[in-house]
C-alpha cells in the first residue's frame, strides 16, 4: 500500500510455487515430472535460505536458529502427542453457533 500511495501505481506480483513433496502422500512427482523435481530437490528449502540470510546479516546466530527450530519442533510434537487425549468443548461450539 505504501508503494501505491507513493508512486500512484498498482503492483503485480507474479508468484510461482511448487510442492516439494507432491500433492499428497500417494503422489510421487518424481515419476510424473522427473526433470522439474530434480531441480526442485537440488534447491535449498526456503527456511534454510532464510536462516542463512539471518545469520549473514547478523540478526541471529546459528545457535539461535538451532534453538528456535528445536523449540518449535518440541511444541509441535507436544501438541501432536495431545491429539488422542484432546476433547473439544462441544458446548461452546454449539452455543457460539446459536448466538
Written as one string, the DSSP assignment of 8-34 is: S-----------TT-SSTT--HHHHSH
Among 15-24, 68-77, 89-98, the range scoring the smallest mean pLDDT is 89-98
Q: Is 86 left (phi over 0), alpha (psi -120 to 50) or beta?
A: beta
What is the reported pLDDT for 92?
61
Hey, what's the cell of 56?
Answer: 549473514
Hey, what's the cell of 94?
Answer: 454449539
CA dihedral 32, 33, 35, 39 (to 10 degrees): -130
Q: How many CB atoms lie within 10 A of CB 20?
A: 11
pTM over 0.85: no
Amino acid at each position: 500500500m505504501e508503494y501505491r500511495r507513493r508512486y500512484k501505481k498498482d503492483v503485480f506480483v507474479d508468484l510461482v510455487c511448487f510442492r516439494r513433496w507432491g500433492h499428497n502422500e500417494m503422489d510421487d512427482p518424481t515419476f510424473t515430472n522427473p526433470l522439474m523435481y530434480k531441480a526442485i530437490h537440488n534447491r535449498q528449502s526456503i527456511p534454510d535460505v532464510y536462516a542463512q540470510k539471518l545469520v549473514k546479516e547478523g540478526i541471529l546466530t546459528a545457535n539461535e536458529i538451532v534453538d528456535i527450530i528445536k523449540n518449535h519442533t518440541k511444541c509441535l510434537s507436544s501438541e501432536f502427542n495431545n491429539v488422542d487425549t484432546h476433547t473439544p468443548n462441544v458446548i461452546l461450539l454449539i452455543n457460539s453457533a446459536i448466538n
